[in-house]
A and B are shown apart, each in its own frame.
Chain A
Amino acid sequence: MITNTVEILLAEDDPNDVELTIHALQKHNLANRIHVVRDGEEALDFLLCRGAYKDRDSVTPKVVLLDLKLPKVDGLEVLRQMRGDERTRVMPVVIMTSSSQERDVVETYKLGANSYIVKPVDFDQFSEAVRQIGCYWLLLNQPPML
């Protein structure tokens, strides 16, 4: 498994959303180094180099795209554990969710999310949102050296 050059970690359980996100990234030539995890536990395994990822080269992704509603460990808990671990404390996390519920938004920012995006239903808007996220976090933003 080549994971040492991962730039984007996508934590998303819905296979359709995974495919649409990758499709949108590809369309804008941003999808070459993306890794997908399908539940919160796998996300934490990847990020904290444990379980199936214990031998992973610990080079960190430039951004984590995190869905809130994930099996096993939900997105909020993934974020909480990330912020509690030195290795992932300042890693940029973009919440990507279907919900625009106010309490989610406040809660995730309190836990230290860097951005909160509601996935648009209309694909044109969705694709544009993904393009902007990719451009900003991969090209424009200067990530912390970890």
Chain B
Amino acid sequence: MREKRVSRVKPVPSAAQGVFKKSAGNENRVSKANLKGKRPLARNKTIIESLEFLESIIDTVREPLIALDQDLRVVKVSRSFYDFFKVKPEETVGKLIYDLGNEQWNIPKLRELLETILPQKATFDDYEVEHKFDTIGRRTMLLNARQIQRAAGKERIILLAIEDVTERKAIEAGLEKTRKELEAANKELEAFTYSVSHDLRAPLRAIVGFSRILTDEHAAHLSPEVQRYLNLVLSNALQMNRLVDDLLSFSRFGRQAMAKSQVDPAVLVREAWDLLTSGQPERPLKMIVGGLPPCQGDRALLKQVFVNLLSNALKFTRQRDPAVIEVGSGRRDGETVYFVRDNGAGFDMRYVGKLFGVFQRLHRSEDFEGTGVGLAIVQRIVLRHGGRIWAEGEADKGATFFFTLGGISS
């Protein structure tokens, strides 16, 4: 079948001067198997076709390729070699490789490869050489070499493929630099978080502690007005502590490593619901859970999504009788869309853009307590899963939060 393949390759005109000229009378290894039992004329034809085939391969290969004889003289050079190193055929074939182009190939590392390493190893991959060429400037190259022992005689041929990795190296160096910068920025962020968690808490503890000692142990000496002020100091310090806590957890949910697995949202919803409602006073409450197809995600993070959304729903339906909270899913553009809906205080769609911002609140803290971090955390987790989140609402009617988790779920 091999002849058939050979005959389909269009002969390359420049092939005549070509490679393996010396061995044209001999049988080379590639074509040997095909020549058995053929008449001389057919044999010659097959040899020529095989040579043409080989030459066309050499000239087609994109990376510069050079064939040397055992004295390291150039036997054949690929067209890409001429193009790349800007040399002409008459300057190369028959010359010692080190003499090529103003001795620009007389590189110590290349000499080491050709004269020391290759005779021992016969093949060599990805041997990195950096060199400044007169014609094309400083280049980093990966050399792949093969030493081919001919069947007849003791001659050997060395094939040397040259891959120019200068640009790739530059890009890699750029990426590495960016990676290092990012790492440094992350470290800084972590140090900042650490410092916030440590340093902001200590003064808060002092404010709360001493105020509490005053109100608890010295109440007899304090007028009702002073006690009221002290309580305001206390509640504000505690609120600031919640802000610090929430800011830290927001940062943690953004950085925490993700462990993805198959997750059943129905289970997460049940766990979140139990967590939020157990031990709470009874209230008129209706919970509807629809079909929730499984998904790929980080279990702990996704549970936090449901905890935050359901906790919001419970909070904003506090004045409803009954409060109706619905969790379900639908399909849109081949994607599963999960939703959490309530009939609570809702929000004005004009401010929907602020909904997911850190410390952004659409309700007065006298009406609904909170720090404005819960939905920001939800958004962060959803985005980390490659999903999207959005909301629809109407003031005093209720709100629905929709999210996807990226990927086409079944």
Taking Cβ atoms with an 8 Å cutoff, the residues of A that contact B are: 14, 16-17, 20, 23, 69, 97-101, 119-124, 126
Taking the complex as formed, is B213 at the interface, i.e. its CB lies under 8 A from any CB of chain A? yes
Tell me the chain B residues, 161-197 only, with Cβ under 8 Å from chain A: 194, 197
Taking Cβ atoms with an 8 Å cutoff, the residues of B that contact A are: 194, 197-199, 201-206, 208-213, 237-238, 241
Instruction: Select B194's contact among A16, A99, A122, beta carbons within 8 Å.
Output: A99
Instruction: Select B205's contact among A20, A100, A101, beta carbons within 8 Å.
Output: A20
Instruction: Select A16's contact among B202, B211, B212, B241, beta carbons within 8 Å.
Output: B202
Q: A23 to B209, alpha carbons, bound, how many Å?
A: 10
**Would B208 and A99 count as touching, CB distance under 8 A?**
no
Total of A-B residue pairs, C-beta within 8 Å: 54
Closest Cβ of chain B to A118, distance in Å, is 9
**Would A17 and B206 count as touching, CB distance under 8 A?**
yes
Closest 6 CB pairs of A and B: A16-B206, A123-B212, A98-B201, A123-B209, A20-B209, A121-B241
Q: A122-B238, A123-B205, A126-B209 are in contact. List 15 more A-B contacts (CB 8 A).
A: A20-B206, A23-B209, A97-B198, A98-B201, A99-B194, A99-B198, A119-B201, A121-B201, A121-B204, A121-B208, A121-B238, A121-B241, A122-B208, A123-B208, A123-B213
Neighbouring A residues of B201 by C-beta, 8 Å: 98, 119, 121
Q: A17 to B198, alpha carbons, bound, how many Å?
A: 13
Neighbouring A residues of B202 by C-beta, 8 Å: 14, 16-17, 98
**Would A121 and B198 count as touching, CB distance under 8 A?**
no
Closest Cβ of chain B to A72, distance in Å, is 17
Instruction: Select A101's contact among B197, B199, B241, beta carbons within 8 Å.
Output: B197
Closest Cβ of chain B to A121, distance in Å, is 4
A-B contact pairs, 20 of them (CB 8 A): A14-B206, A16-B202, A16-B206, A17-B202, A97-B198, A98-B199, A98-B202, A98-B205, A99-B197, A100-B197, A101-B194, A101-B197, A119-B201, A120-B205, A121-B204, A121-B208, A121-B238, A121-B241, A123-B205, A124-B212
Residue of B with least CB distance to A120: B205
Closest Cβ of chain B to A60, distance in Å, is 28
Neighbouring A residues of B198 by C-beta, 8 Å: 69, 97-99
Neighbouring A residues of B209 by C-beta, 8 Å: 16, 20, 23, 123, 126
Q: Name A's interface SS.
A: loop
Closest Cβ of chain B to A132, distance in Å, is 17
Q: Among the interface residues B202, B203, B238, which one has the most CB atoms of the partner chain A within 10 A?
A: B202
Residue of A with least CB distance to B204: A121
Neighbouring A residues of B208 by C-beta, 8 Å: 121-123
**Would A121 and B205 count as touching, CB distance under 8 A?**
yes
Closest Cβ of chain A to B281, distance in Å, is 22
Residue of A with least CB distance to B215: A123
Residue of B with least CB distance to A125: B208
Neighbouring B residues of A17 by C-beta, 8 Å: 202, 205-206
Closest Cβ of chain A to B93, distance in Å, is 65
Q: A83 to B204, alpha carbons, bound, how many Å?
A: 33
Q: Among the interface residues B205, B209, B210, B241, which one has the most CB atoms of the partner chain A within 10 A?
A: B209
Neighbouring B residues of A23 by C-beta, 8 Å: 209, 213
Residue of A with least CB distance to B199: A98
Question: Do A98 and B213 contact each other (CB < 8 Å), given the known contacts A14-B202, A16-B202, A17-B202?
Answer: no
Neighbouring A residues of B194 by C-beta, 8 Å: 99, 101
Neighbouring B residues of A119 by C-beta, 8 Å: 201, 205
Q: A75 to B180, alpha carbons, bound, how many Å?
A: 30
Closest Cβ of chain B to A124, distance in Å, is 7
Closest Cβ of chain B to A103, distance in Å, is 9
Q: A101 to B245, alpha carbons, bound, how many Å?
A: 12
**Would A126 and B197 count as touching, CB distance under 8 A?**
no
Neighbouring A residues of B210 by C-beta, 8 Å: 16, 20
Q: A119 to B212, alpha carbons, bound, how many Å?
A: 16
